[in-house]
Structure 1
Amino acid sequence: MAGLTIDSVTKRFGEHPAVEALSLDIAPGEFVALLGPSGCGKTTMLRMLAGFESLSEGEIRLGGRTLASHEHHVPPERRNMAMVFQSYALWPHMSVADNVGYPLKLRRLDGETYRRRVAQALALVGLAPYAERSPQELSGGQRQRVALARCLVTDPDVVLLDEPLANLDRHLRAAMEQSFRDFHRRTQATLVYVTHDQSEAMALADRIAVMCDGRLAQWGTPETLYRQPRTAWVASFIGQGSLLNVAAGRPGQRLEEATLMRGLAAAPAERIQPVLVRPEHVTVLSDALSPQDLRGRVERVTFRGERYELHLRLESGEALLAYHQTALGEGQQVALILREGWCLEPET
């Protein structure tokens, strides 16, 4: 397998940069997600990888082979990549097996080799018993697995997936996430997966490229992005949390409880360092309050099944989100302990 390199890739439509100076090094066999809101450039980047869009600047390489640059463009059919579309793109008049084998037919492959490779691809996605059915007889999740098998049948170097779970309901999406994990483990293929759903990306990917307005906002493992976001924008896009200003720390530093609490007690003019506090790092004390406590007032309570979300307002006027095992009354005063926080870069 070969590594995939995206080197300072830019794509402009007229004067508008849809993707700007994006660089990523993707290891062979890695599962990578391109994550961001609608219009951030992630699908445009995927289409450039597939060869459906040309580059304005930069270079895309697979191993030592240049696939695309401003002067050079390898057509999609010669990149040995496969793409799974949001709409599945299955032929309704063909059986499941014929849909899976269609790319092999285009390569004029038939006979025993054709049948063996189709059977292997269907077995990998758990659909061997459905080979002779039509796509209309399958569920949404099964159709998605047919699309995956069609990718596998050509033994691609890279599999590209464009919002593949967007058309499925929540329950089926959760089941398909496990199917994608199994698919990646069995095939060891390099996967590039586009999604706007951060929980989906966090559950599946080895590393995530978070995109905003065509640029790379941060590139890292799911745990790094959650625990050590670079900016307030990334912090708000990945998970839940509260942004507070404190008189302690510097960007990229973790603040322990004592330092964080002292920084929150400082004069407002000294509190200039933005700090992310995740709700699981907030302890809520609803018993008797003392004058030195950090206090908050409960503004709203949301039941989430396994816990309650408390939307609090500090005496400074700042909002704070916390988790709690029991529901508290709106307007109730509580004492708070913030066990840790992560220092962010200031907004520019």
Structure 2
Amino acid sequence: MAGLTIDRVTKRFGEQRAVDALSLDVEPGEFVALLGPSGCGKTTMLRMLAGFESLSEGEIHLGGRLLAGLDQHVPPEQRNMAMVFQSYALWPHMSVADNVGYPLKLRRRSGEAYQRQVAKALAMVALEPYAQRSPQELSGGQRQRVALARCLVTDPDVVLLDEPLANLDRHLRAAMEQSFRDFHRRTRATLVYVTHDQSEAMALADRIAVMREGRLEQWATPQTLYRRPRSTWVASFIGQGSQLKVAAGRPGQRLEEATLMRGLAAIATERTQTVLVRPEHVTVLPDSSSFHALRARVEGVTFRGERYELHLCLESGEALMAYHHEALTEGQKVGLTLHEGWCLEPDA
């Protein structure tokens, strides 16, 4: 397997920069996600990887091979990459096996070798019993697995996935996430997965490139993005949490409970550092006596099944989210302990 290198890739449409000097190094066999809001450039980047779009600047390498640059553009069919689209793009008049084998027929493969490769690809997505069915007889999740098998049948170096679960309902998306994990574990293919759904990216990817307006905001593991987001924008985009002002710390520093609580108790003019506090790091005590250094009022309560989500207002006027095991009353005064926080860079 070969590593994928994206080196300061830029794509301009007129005066607009859809992708702006993006650089990533993807390890062989790694599952990476391009994550960001609509219009951030992630699908444009995927299309440049596939060869459907040319580069304005920069280079793309697969292993030691230059795929794209100012004077080089290897066509899609010569990149040994495969792409799974949001719409499945299956031929309705062909059987499942024929859909999977279609790329092989384009390469003039036939006979026993053809049948063996199709069977192997179907086995990778657990669809061997459905080989002779038509796509119309399958569920949405099964059709997506057919599209995956069609990608795998040619043994690509890289599989590109463009929001492949967007057309599925919530229950089926959850089931397909497990299918993707199993698929990656079995094949160890290099996967580049585009999505605007952070829960998908966090559940599936080894590393995530968070994009905003064509630029890379942060490139890290899901755990790092959640626990140590770089900026206020990434912190607001990834997960739930509250951003408060404290008189302590510096960007990239974790604040322990004692330091965090002292920093929150300082006068407003001294509280200049923004800190992210995740709701699971807040203890709520339904007692607002002066014993508690930090107090708040319950503004709203949302039932989430396994817990209640509390929306609180601190005495400073700042909003804070917390989890609790039981419902509290709107307007109720509570005491708080914040156990840790992460100091953020200001938004660029």
- TM-score relative to the length of structure 1: 0.99
Which residue is 1:19 aligned to?
A: 19
Which residue is 1:127 aligned to?
A: 127
Which residue is 1:275 aligned to?
A: 275
Which residue is 1:182 aligned to?
A: 182
Deviations 1:283-318 (A, max 9, x none): 000035125520000000000000000000000000
Which residue is 1:139 aligned to?
A: 139
Distance in 1 (alpha carbons) for counterparts of 2:17 and 2:274: 30
Deviations 1:311-333 (A, max 9, x none): 00000000000000000000000
Distance in 1 (alpha carbons) for counterparts of 2:288 and 2:68: 66
Which residue is 2:66 aligned to?
A: 66
Distance in 1 (alpha carbons) for counterparts of 2:16 and 2:71: 20
Deviation at 1:70, TM superposition (A): 1.5
Which residue is 1:303 aligned to?
A: 303
8 A contact 2:298–2:313 mirrored in 1: yes
Distance in 2 (alpha carbons) for counterparts of 1:92 and 1:78: 27
Which residue is 2:264 aligned to?
A: 264
Distance in 2 (alpha carbons) for counterparts of 1:282 and 1:99: 52
Alignment RMSD: 0.7
Deviation at 1:346, TM superposition (A): 1.9
Distance in 2 (alpha carbons) for counterparts of 1:292 and 1:314: 12
Distance in 2 (alpha carbons) for counterparts of 1:292 and 1:132: 68
Which residue is 1:79 aligned to?
A: 79
Distance in 1 (alpha carbons) for counterparts of 2:72 and 2:328: 63
Runs of 4+ in structure 1 displaced over 3 angstroms? none
Give the partner amino acid of 1:139.
Answer: S
User: Greater CA deviation, 116-125 or 291-300?
Assistant: 291-300
8 A contact 2:84–2:151 mirrored in 1: yes
Deviations 1:240-297 (A, max 9, x none): 0000000000000000000000000001000000000000000000035125520000
Which residue is 1:254 aligned to?
A: 254
Give the partner amino acid of 1:34.
Answer: L
Distance in 2 (alpha carbons) for counterparts of 1:48 and 1:172: 30
Deviations 1:5-26 (A, max 9, x none): 0000000001100000000000
Distance in 2 (alpha carbons) for counterparts of 1:288 and 1:86: 51
Which residue is 1:56 aligned to?
A: 56
Quick one: percent identity of the two aligned structures?
A: 83
Which residue is 1:341 aligned to?
A: 341
Distance in 1 (alpha carbons) for counterparts of 2:69 and 2:298: 55
Give the partner amino acid of 1:112.
Answer: E
Query: Which structure 1 residue ranges, 5 or more long, are not aligned?
Result: none
Structure 2 residue 47 is matched with structure 1 residue 47: yes
Deviation at 1:347, TM superposition (A): 2.9
Deviations 1:56-92 (A, max 9, x none): 0000000000000121100000000000000000000
Deviation at 1:95, TM superposition (A): 0.4
8 A contact 2:104–2:114 mirrored in 1: yes
Which residue is 1:4 aligned to?
A: 4
Which residue is 2:28 aligned to?
A: 28
Give the partner amino acid of 1:196.
Answer: H
Distance in 2 (alpha carbons) for counterparts of 1:80 and 1:37: 29
Distance in 2 (alpha carbons) for counterparts of 1:288 and 1:268: 21
Which residue is 1:329 aligned to?
A: 329
8 A contact 2:227–2:342 mirrored in 1: yes
Distance in 2 (alpha carbons) for counterparts of 1:14 and 1:118: 43
Distance in 2 (alpha carbons) for counterparts of 1:243 and 1:143: 42
Give the partner amino acid of 1:309.
Answer: E
Which residue is 1:167 aligned to?
A: 167
Distance in 2 (alpha carbons) for counterparts of 1:326 and 1:233: 31
SS of equivalent to 2:149: helix
Give the partner amino acid of 1:182.
Answer: D
Deviations 1:141-193 (A, max 9, x none): 00000000000000000000000000000000000000000000000100000
Distance in 1 (alpha carbons) for counterparts of 2:292 and 2:82: 61
Distance in 2 (alpha carbons) for counterparts of 1:124 and 1:67: 28
Deviation at 1:39, TM superposition (A): 0.3
